[in-house]
Every structure is written in C-alpha cells, then in structure tokens.
Structure 1
Amino acid sequence: MNKPAKPTLGVQLIVKNEAELLPRCLASLNGADEIIVTDTGSSDQTMDIARAYGADVYAVGWSNDFSAARNTGLSCANTDWILVLDADEVLQTSIESIKDILQGSTAEAYTVRIENWLGSNPEDRLYHSNVRLFRNGQGYLFSGRIHESVDPSILKIHGAAAIGTSSIEIIHLGYLPSIMSAKNKISRNEQLLRLALEEEPDDAFYSYNLAVTCCQDGRLKEAEELLRHTLGHAPLQVSYRPSMIRDLCKIYLATGKVKALDSLLTRELTRYGDYPDLHYIQGQSWESQGLPDRAYQSYQHAVDTSSAAAPHRAYVSEQGMDSFRPLHRMGVISQQLGKQEEAARLFHRSLQHHSLYLPAMQGIASAFQQLEVPDEDIAGLLMQLSGIAQSTARGSIIRTLYELGAYKVIAELPPELFPLETDTVLLILSSWVSTGKYHAFSRTAAKLRAQPLLLSPGELDTETMRQLWLLEAVCTWELGEKLQQEKWLQSPAELRSGLLFIDTQLSSEAVLPQAAVADSGHSRLITEVIRLAVKLELVTLGKLLVERFPAYTGDLAEALYEEGWRAEAGELFIRLVSSKEARGSTLRYLGEMLADKGHYAEAADWYRLSLEGSPGDEAASAGLALCYLHLAELGLGEVANSFKGEKAHGPLQEDRAAIAHSIEVLNRTPWHTAWNYKQRQRGADLSL
C-alpha cells in the first residue's frame, strides 16, 4: 500500500530593504514547495536576492498596515499549508520535518516556538509562541495594522481546539540592539501603534504593545501607566495578560516600587503559579529588601515550575528562568550567609543547565576561593565544567579568573590551549604585566600592532588597541624606562600627547602645579593610568604617579580602597582630610571604614558630607541609616543596662530587638563596597 503524499508547504515573507538579513533566512527554507516574498518598497538588492533563492516576488505599496501586506501574499499562495516568517528570522526545524508533522494532521493551525536573540551572550534569549503555520484555502486572513495575527480568523471559525502546539523552532534576530537601531523599529512601531489606537482606542493588545515599545525606548513611566490602564481593561483570558504582569513587575523592580510589585504578585501568582519569570522577579524584589530567606524560596519556586505535573502555558519567558538563573541567585544568597559549600553546589547545578553562564562560573570560583582552594585547582575545575573547545568557554574561564585576581594562573595558561583571542587578549596581556612578564608582553604587543589579524576571529577594535597602548605605557614605566618617542608617534592621537606628557613628568624631579596639569587637558587620562596601575597590582607605580601629580591623591586612594588595600588607602584618606581635599567617593569610603570599626557617629558625619555632594547615592544613604540604627541600638542598650529587675525587660528590649532586626535586614542590601576573597585578605590586618 502506497504511503500518502506529504502535504505541500509554502513560506510567506513581507520585506523592505532586507538585503543583509534575507539570505540567511531564505537559506533555511530548503525544501519549501513555494516561497512568496511581498516587497513593500525596497531600494536595495532585496528583490534580486529573493529571486536568486527561487522566490516569487510581488511588489506592493506600503499602506502602514502589515496585515494588508501579509494578505496580499496569501492571495498568491498555491500550497496546502503556509508558514509565515520575517526576513530577520531563521527556521531551525527542517521543512521536511514540518511536512512530517503536517501529514495526516487534523489541526487547522500550529503554534511555533520563537527564540528571540536579545544580545551576544548565549543566555540573552527570550522565548514566546505564536501561530505561524496554518492551512491554505480556508479563507484565513491576517488582522491588525501592526503585530498582525491570523489567530482571530481561525478561532472565529473553529475555536481554540483547532490550533495545535508544535515543536517547530524559529530564531528571531530583530531584537538585537544593532538591528533595532539600524531599522529604527521603535519609532516605526510607535507610529503604527498610535495610529491603530486612534482607530481602536479601546484595543488592549495595541495598548499593551505600545507599553512594550515605550519600555524599549526607556520611557518606563509612560510604559507603567499604559500597562496599569490596560490590565484594568483587558479580559482575564487574553493570552498576553501574563506578559503584561511580567513587564509591569519588571518596571516596578527597576523603579524601586517593591510594595506595588509585591502586591501585584501576591494576587497574580495565584493565577500564574507555573510562570517561572514571576517567581524569579519576586525573588529579586525580596533580595532588594534584604529578605534572603523569602528570596531563596521564590527562586526555589521558579526551579520547581520545571518539574510541575502540569505543562507550562505558552508564556513569554527568558531563557533559564526555571533553571540556571534562579539556581545562581540561590547560590549567591547562600554565599552571603556564609554557606560556601552549599553555594558551590547550587552554582554547580546552575552550570549543569548552562555550562557557560558567566555569573554561575564566577560564583562557583568565588565560593571555592573562599574555601581556600588554590587558584590553579579552580582553573582546572572551570575547564572541566565548561570545556575549552569553544572560544566562548575559553573567554568565560579567563574572565572568571581575572575577576578573582588570579593573574598568575592566567599568565601561565598554555597558549596552545588558550590562544590570544579578540575578547581575551587584554585580560591575558594585563595578567602578563601584573605578574612581571614585561618583555613577553612588549614583544606580543608589537606583533599585534603590526599584524592584528593574528588574532581570532579578526582585527582588534579601536578601544582594544587603545587599551594595549595604555598597557604598554604602564609596563614601560613599571620597568623604570621612558617611552621611546619615535615608537609612540604611532599611538592613537588622542593618547599620544597625554602619555608623553605623563612620561615627561615621571622623569622630572619637579612637581607640576595642578593648574598646569588641568591646562594640559590630560586629567582624565592621568586618573585612568593611576587606576590601571592599581588594578594590575602595580601599587608602587601608582604612588609614583601621585608623587608627580599630587592633585590625584584622591583617585589613588579610592582605587586602593576598591581593590582592598585599606591600610594604604586609609593613610591617603587621612592626608586628604588633613588638607581638606576629601570629596566624592572618598567621603563614602571614609564612612565605610569608620562604620566597619564601629565608630558610627564619626561615620555618620562622613556619610552626611557625601550625601551633600551626591544626594541620590543609595549606598551612602543606606550607610547613614545603618549608622543611625547602630547608635540607637547602643543608646537603648545603655538605658536597658541601667535598669534592674522587671524594667530590664518589656518594651525597651522589644525596641532593641526591632532595631537589631532592621540592622540585619539593611546589612543584606548592597550598601558596602564588595571585595573578592583576595581583596578582603589585603585588609585582614585591619580586623575589619
């Protein structure tokens, strides 16, 4: 008995000036029985490219209506089924596999899974489902001026049971920042959405999508107002309602409206308890409020959704919201509570779901460093977990080690396993300078300047070349040598005069007056060089630079403090206070140092001064609040100790307990400078 023939499948696109993206899309359609491209006014090679791939091309005028263009293409279709794509999409499932799904199908249409790329990292993905595959010849038409859909046409005739769920996958590149900017999509979409709302002012779908567009444009207040209004009017059963909740919660979180966020989630999680993104956002809210136990539970709920008995609904969801993302945050919380071994296990579980998730890699490395595992063994563990075959894996390993300050390990990585690559060259060469491999660095830097294409995947960008020149200058000065002017004439013009100016002063015995330095126009570069020297642990060079440029003592002090050299920073802070030159971050760091030593009244004075110059500094505000709470607790303690018998208990002790709880909660918020293990060890002698 002959097997019935597979149904025919055509693909439909509407395009305009898509010459750059279209070839990748069309190349993924091998085996399609028909490709119909509706062009709405291209002025580049789009139509020629489409014809070269065998597409039938129809030119139509653009009427500010995506549905009209889609329906023009539908009227020309000759296949049994139609798959709809955009030029910035790539079909991941083969055409033959799709035909296998369709053979013998009784459905009228299918949803497909769309993977939206949001950035360059593997985890920068957002997933959603949409009806893109449907039967031809049934009179189905698209509706909607923008964000058009064929669903209403199908639902009106057959109901929801006629739409099946498929495993078909499509990659969508259009949300990548470079493409969004080049296509000016935000402006175009807003124009069409506002036009659609003029025609249909009560349409909740248009209102929701206008809120999304405002979010993309950074107008969070307007987006919030639109979402709140739309939530009040949209029916509970609309498919995009969970996404509205998610987006509004993210806005509340970004703008610090945690009470509104918590209230909204308390209500909506009863409806969407299997939506991992909502649990994750709830966890972020609890963390921001200094409530790690509640946050941990919310993250666990997010993980639990992956194994729930009922399958997930077709939610819009970021990659890893039910796996590596919440597991990573659970590890961070465990680490903050001093449970390093538990943290390491959670980070390891996160990496089992996404072996190249950089936050989890950095987390597990940090946990093992806290457990005093040697840097060499940590490097070996990272290689075991992620492998080194991929450039992305090698880059993640090197970035993680660099964050730990494991410069020696990086400098000794075998070049045959870890070659210089565009995204790691600066980290590797910086580690060479930090560990004294000066001549190897100089030879390699010279080769790279002469033949930048030695690197994979290609030529170094302008900023990387600039940083290489800075590294070479720092390396030269660390060796006590002068810059060779004939070579430095090859350096970028915006660096050249500044570096030669610093070089001249380093070899001079005279200290240049601040006015002369300011007039030179090189102030920013001097600060950058001082900070680079400290970052590379070349502290002596940093001090030498400040000897020649005393006005930058504050920059050196702050850099030393941020890298954990608190004793050295403290000496400079005292000098700045004595000369009444303390300002900026120095004031907050003084507050931190004094608060760490229990001198809360003096610390509060510095925090107040810091806030006078930077009223919106949340870290300084939190530090000041902590000082006041500590002072209140000490004051109540003195009063309580003066009482005897029954008076020593009761309301006074309850007040003390409440203040102690507030201190505990506030201490869990990110108010203090964060140091890694090595940086904390640098200040261990201060008993902080």
Structure 2
Amino acid sequence: MSLSLCMIVKNEEDTIARSIASVKDLTDEIVVVDTGSADKTVEAAESLGARVYYYKWDDSFANARNFALSKAAMDWILVMDADDELEREDKEKLLKLMKTAGENILVYCCRTLCYTGESPDWNNVLINMNVRLIRNRIGCRYRGRVHEQLVFPGEEGLKAECFLATDVRFHHYGYLNSYIQAKDKHARNIRLIRKELEDTPENPFMLFNLGNEYCALQDPERALACYEESYRKFDARESFYAFLLIRMILCHEALGNDDEIFRLARQGLRCYPGHTDFEFLRGRLRSRRGELKSAIGSYRKCIRMGPPPVNASSIAGVATFRAQFALASLYLKLGNRKKALFHCQKTLKLHGGHRAALAMSLDLLLEEGKDADAAARRLAGRLNGSAEAFLLLSDLFYDRGKYKQAQRLSGRALKLDPMSPRALFSLGAASFFLGELPKARRSLKKARLCEEYASRANLLLFFCARERRRAGENRELEALDPAHRAAAETFRVLVSGKNDLPQGMDAKLDAEAVTHVLELLLKAGRLEEFRAALALTRDLEDKDAALRLGKLYFRSGYRRLAWHEFVRSLALGGMADEAALDMMKEIRSSIQAEEREEAMQTS
C-alpha cells in the first residue's frame, strides 16, 4: 500500500520540517499546498522532497484541502497540518492500518493530542478524534470554511460502517499561546465560523466550534452561550456532543455554577456510561467543595472505569495519571502522607514527567527523613531516562536549594544531550551556588550562546567575576543585555553603601531583571547584599514583579514577605495564578497556626 501526505500551509517555516520529518519515511509522496506564504515555508517543504502547489486563499479550508486531495496519487492519503506531529511510537501502527484495512474501511480517525498554554504539557491536553487516513479515489470531499468535515458525494456525513477509530496519536501544537498569538488564529476562526453561521444559523456543530474559540480566549460566558445554543439540538448519537457536555462543564467550573456541573455530569454518565471524564469532573467539584471522601470515591471509580472509548474526545489521563495524582493531593490534605506518596508513585509510573507528582514525592521523601541523595536516586529511577526528565528533576532539587543533587542530575542530562543549552545552564547555575566557580564559568559561557539563556547566564557570570574580587567584572557587566546591566549597575551602587540612587537610575529598571538579581542573591545566601538590593524594587509599580517576588520569597522560606508581595500584586491589579493562591492559603494557615499557639501560650 502506498501513501500520500497532504497538507495545506501558510507561513509555517518554523514548524513544517518537524511535521514532515515525523512521517517522511512512511510516505511515497508529499503534497504541500501553499495558500500564500510570505516566509520560507515553500523552500523548507521542497528541501524535504515535497511537491508544492499554490492555491489562492478563498476563506475556505475545505476548498484548499480538496485541492490538495486532488493532487494525491497514492492508495491512501494522510491528512496533516504543519503544526501536527505523528507520535514516534505509533509509526508501525499507522502502516498496519493501511495493510490490514478491509475493503469496507475507507477512513481512519486517529487521536489528536491538542496542547494549550505556554508549552506542550500533559496537564494541558485535550484529546480529539480527527480524520487522518483516507482511501484515495473514492470521491470523499471536505465541506465547511473552517473545522471542515469529510463527506461522501451526496451524503451529509460519513457512513458509520466505512470509518474506524484508532488509538494512533498525533500531537497538535497549533493552540499553544505563542502559535496563536503569532497567527491570530482565534480571530480568523471566529470570522470564518460566523460566515458559516450566516448560511446555516442553527448549525449545532459550528455553534460548538464557536464556543471552543471563546473558551480558548478564556471567555467562559460567551463560550457557554454558544454551547447552550448548540445543546438545544442535543442528539447523543452525534460524535461531538459528549465533548460539548464536557466543555459546558468546564465553563460552569470557571463561573462557579456547581449545580449545573452535577446535572451535566449526571447526564453525561447516563448518555455515555463509559466516558470517564464525567466522573472525573464530578470528583473535581467534590474536591473543590471540601467533600474529600466523596471526591476520593469519584477518582477511584475513574480508575475502575478505565480510559474513555478510543473514539471519544477527552481530557488526557482522567482514568490514569490525572486520577492518581488527584488521589495523592486529597490524601495529603487529609494528612495521610503514606497514601499520598503511594499515589504519587502510581502517577509517576503512568507519567514519569509529571512535575507536580515529582515535586510532591520529593517533599514527602525529605519530610520522611530521607537524605537528598537517597531521594534523588529513588526519583531518578521513576524517570523515562531522557535528558528532559533529568532536567525536570534537577530543577526541583535546585528550587529547594539542594544544589549538589541538582548538579548531578543536570550532569546526567548533559551526558544524554551534550549540546543542550538548558542542561549547560542548569549545571552552571548549580555549580555557582556550590561555589565551584571554574566549573560554573565553563558551563555558563557555553549556555549564553543560546539566546534563551543568555541574559541569566551572563548575570551569573557577572557574579562569578565579583566572587573573584572583581576580576573581569566590568567585562562581564558589558556582556549583559541593557535591562540586566541597568539592574546590575544599580545593585553595585546600593551594596557600595550608598543609600540613595543617582537621580533617574531607578526609572530605567526592568522588573524581570530586578527579580533575577534578587533571586540570585537569595539563593546564594547573601542576605546582607539582598537587603541592600531590595531598594531596587522601591519604585517598581509592576503587578507581575510583585507576584514573582512573592513566589521567590515563599520558595526561600520568607512567608510573611511573600504574603506582603502577593497582596501588593493584587492591589496593583494583578491576578494571582493557581500556584500563588496555593501559596497564599499555606501562608494563611501557618499564620493562623502561629496565632493560635501564641494565644495558648498567653492564656
């Protein structure tokens, strides 16, 4: 069986190589249809062996997609976008689908792991089912300006007996924040969906898609209005309606409508009894309301139910790592550290890169009396052996001031990936705080060649020079970017004993650069210099700076100072994220405990 890869693209030079490379060895031809790129997308595609065609964009993904299909010559067509990537472990599965397909199977749907937020992370994944493999020359065509659907000639949709759902996985990065901002993707999609709704005003699928766009824009009220309009046409047999109910629950979560969450979760379990998401979302509500034992029952039921059907759209991990970590968190709240650690280990067995589970495990092991080396060995054994995993664990030890273990773990990562800028920076930073300055300088000088780490690496090199009695200090100061140079120069003035800054010097300070200087001083234990450098924050009316400083104080053990900064951030109009809110709750609990103890001693 032969295979054509078909994709439509526009300005995808940063992603198209990764996408094509993930399937290039499976394909017999690569068809790329460009709809108006102004960058080097075409050159990148051609360098990978693609045949590039041009299509004048007419506000219809279906038309462009159909043009691409018309150029495919092989037995099967693989449909991908330039921000998709085939899961490496599933290559053989994909080939097997074509080789073993019966004559009645014309289309395969595969799982798309759709990432949202700042970076690809299993905590921010929704799983959708999308058409990926189409038998060629059977007359299938796409319909719809956006979120296009595959149909047979003269049919409203695919015949159920002609398509099969599979567990082959594709990663989709197109909804990460950086990608969306660069493409203004939501504005484009909303415009095209509204055009579709002008033709078919009560189209429930398009109303669902419009809700998804508003949901991604973090506008739950507008999203819910669209979902409810789609819901009026509810038909449990429609493939997207289970996910519609899930999306409605997520909106009600954001709006605090508990009764609606319970009602929709019950309806979901009644209509889709094997769909674990609804029990998981019910457990999440019970947990939030403080009904901890009922929540534990829900999460245990999720594990018994197992993953949702392969053809269902879902939240990743509701029956596996996500449910296990929810149990770990609940048992920790109940004070049962042994069970909390047990479920953390279960989480890590299912998902070795689960940062929160690794962090909780580390803290519980240290509280249990394990020394840092023993904890590092135990947790390293749970990792998948990749450089990324060792760096994740290294970061956790680093955040807790365990620099020797952080250094060793980043060293292991560097052996696996000798050119990794992140590993070089992590190794250099840990070595700096251990006082191993030659080793720190060697790693940091390599790390600063990468733009992402240059500013922080140069700042550490500046402080390395100060440690060496200012040898080369001015040279390293000049290597800093303007924002960090201004913060470092101002810091030098402050620690020289001068109480007042030269006029106008503080006006040019950057909040993030100031936070980096303060964090470095705190981690290095230079409390006298840190106190002097606090004047750097005197005129920083920046809510994000206050939030970052609050987290820094909290991680460093200065709880009351952290509270002050969190309150200052809120007063400046900032929004405390989930991590900051958890920190504030912990600080408040510790302050109340201290006040109770003082009251008892007084009485």
For the aligned residues, what is the CA RMSD? 4.4
Q: 1:115 is aligned with what amino acid?
A: L
Secondary structure at the aligned position of 1:93 is classed as helix
Q: 2:450 aligns with which of 439, 454, 460?
A: 460
Query: 2 CA distance for matches of 1:29 and 1:174?
Result: 20
Does structure 1 retain, via aligned residues, the 8 Å contact 2:461–2:476?
no
- 1:349 Cα deviation from its structure 2 partner: 0.8
Matched, 1:333 2:330: yes
Alignment of 1:485-524 (within 5 A): 485-508=474-497, 511-512=499-500, 521-522=508-509
Tell me, yes or no, if structure 1 residue 586 matches structure 2 residue 586: no
CA distance in 2, matches of 1:165, 1:328: 29
Q: Deviations over 1:221-255 (max 9, x none)?
A: 21122112221233232111111122222222234
Inter-partner Cα distance in structure 1 for 2:304 and 2:126: 20
- Please state if 1:316 is matched with 2:313: yes
Q: SS in structure 2 opposite 1:128? A: strand
Structural mapping, 1:143-542, within 5 Å: 143-151=143-151, 159-306=159-306, 312=309, 314-386=311-383, 389-411=385-407, 415=411, 421-425=420-424, 427-434=426-433, 437-438=434-435, 440-441=436-437, 443-448=438-443, 450-452=445-447, 459-461=449-451, 464-471=453-460, 484-508=473-497, 511-512=499-500, 521-522=508-509, 529-542=517-530
Q: Shift in Å at residue 346 of structure 1?
A: 0.6
- Provide the secondary structure at the position in 2 that maps to 1:269: helix
1:100 counterpart letter in structure 2: K
- 1:300-350 per-residue CA deviation (whole Å, 9 max, x = no partner) reads 22222227xxx7152222332221111112111112222111111111111
Q: Pick closer, same or farther for the CA change 1:480–1:41 going to 2, 3 Å.
A: closer
Equivalent residue for 2:66, pick from 65, 68, 71:
71
Q: Which amino acid aligns with 1:116?
A: C
Unaligned runs of 5+ in 1: 1-5, 454-458, 574-583, 590-609, 624-667
> How far has the Cα of 1:101 moved from its partner?
2.1
Aligned residues, how many?
Answer: 576
What is the CA–CA distance in structure 1 between the aligned matches of 2:550 and 2:161, rounded to whole Å?
68
CA contact (8 A) 1:109 1:133 kept: yes
1:34 & 1:486 partners in 2: Cα distance?
A: 54
Name the amino acid aligned to 1:376: D
Is the CA contact 2:410–2:427 (under 8 Å) kept in the aligned structure 1? no
Contact (CA 8 Å) 1:398, 1:424: kept in 2 or not?
A: no
In structure 2, distance between residues paired with 1:72 and 1:527? 52
CA contact (8 A) 2:484 2:514 kept: no
SS in 2 for 1:503: helix
What SS does structure 2 have at the residue aligned with 1:150? strand
Q: Which has the larger radius of gyration?
A: 1
Percent of matched pairs sharing the same residue: 21
Distance of 2:534 and 2:48 partners within structure 1: 64
Name the stretch that deviates more: 369-378 or 479-488: 479-488
Q: C-alpha deviations, 1:99-118, integer Å up to 9, x for none? A: 3122x433233322333344
User: Which residue of the partner structure matches residue 672 of structure 1?
Assistant: 586
Secondary structure in 1 matching 2:146:
coil
**Residue aligning to 2:107:** 109
Question: Judging changes above 3 Å, is the alpha-carbon distance between structure 1 residues 485 and 260 closer, same or farther for their aligned structure 2 residues?
Answer: same
* Aligned amino acid, residue 323 of structure 1: T
Q: Which moved more, 1:346-355 or 1:271-280?
A: 271-280
In 2, the alpha carbon distance for the partners of 1:547 and 1:79 equals 68
For residue 596 of structure 1, what is the aligned residue in structure 2? none
Q: What does residue 639 of structure 1 align with?
A: none
With the length of structure 1 as denominator, give the TM-score of the two structures: 0.71
- Whichever residue aligns with residue 256 of structure 1, its letter is G
Deviation at 1:424, TM superposition (A): 4.7
**Contact preservation (8 Å) 1:39, 1:57:** yes
Please give the alpha-carbon distance, in whole angstroms, between the structure 1 residues aligned to 2:129 and 2:343. Answer: 30
Alpha carbons 2:227, 2:244 under 8 Å: kept: yes
Paired residues for 1:136-147 under 5 Å: 136-147=136-147
Report the counterpart of residue 85 of structure 1 in structure 2. Answer: 80
* Paired residue type of 2:215: C
Distance 2:222 2:183 in 1: 23
Contact 1:117-1:124 at 8 Å conserved across structures: yes
- Distance 1:500-1:179 versus aligned 2 partners, 3 A rule: closer
* Structure-1 residue corresponding to 2:129: 129
Distance in 2 of aligned mates of 1:24 and 1:493 = 34
Match of 1:651 in 2: none
Residues 467, 272 of structure 1: alpha-carbon distance in 2 compared, 3 angstrom cutoff: same
CA distance 1:219–1:382, change in 2 (3 Å): same
1:445 and 1:488, CA in 2 relative to 1: closer, same or farther beyond 3 A?
farther
| 1:535 Cα deviation after fit | 4.2
Aligned in 2, Cα 1:34/1:412: closer, same or farther, shift over 3 Å? closer
SS of 2:302's partner is helix
2:197/2:206 contact within 8 Å kept = yes
Q: Report the equivalent of 1:594.
A: none
* Secondary structure in 2 matching 1:238: coil
Q: Distance in 2 between matches of 1:56 and 1:44?
A: 17
Alignment of 1:99 with 2:101, yes or no, is no
C-alpha displacement at 1:520, in angstroms? 5.8
More displaced, 522-531 or 320-329?
522-531
In structure 1, C-alpha distance between the alignment counterparts of 2:206 and 2:224, rounded to whole Å:
15
CA contact (8 A) 2:447 2:457 kept: no
Which residue number in structure 1 is paired with residue 556 of structure 2? 563
Shift of 1:187: 2.1
* Distance in 2 (alpha carbons) for counterparts of 1:373 and 1:417: 23
**In the alignment, residue 557 of structure 2 is paired with which amino acid?**
G
What is the one-letter code of the residue matched to 2:105? A
Once the two structures are TM-superposed, the CA of residue 411 in structure 1 deviates from its matched residue by 4.8
Are the counterparts in 2 of residues 111 and 163 from structure 1 also a CA contact under 8 Å? yes
Separation of aligned partners in 2, 1:361 and 1:224: 35
1:612 CA drift (Å): 11
For 1:137 and 1:479, the matched residues in 2 are separated by: 73
Compared CA separation, residues 351 and 31, structure 1 to 2 (3 A): closer
| Cα pair 2:427 2:443 within 8 Å, conserved | no
Tell whether the 8 Å contact from 2:424 to 2:444 is kept in structure 1 after alignment. Answer: no
Q: What TM-score does the superposition give when structure 2 sets the normalisation length?
A: 0.80
Superposed displacement of residue 205, structure 1: 0.7
How far, CA to CA, are the matches of 1:551 and 1:13 in structure 2?
A: 52
> What do residues 246-295 of structure 1 show as CA deviations (whole Å, max 9, x unaligned)?
22222222343334323332332332343233333333322322222222
The one-letter code matched in structure 1 to 2:314 is: S
* Residues in 2 aligned to 1:477 and 1:47: alpha-carbon distance in whole angstroms: 50
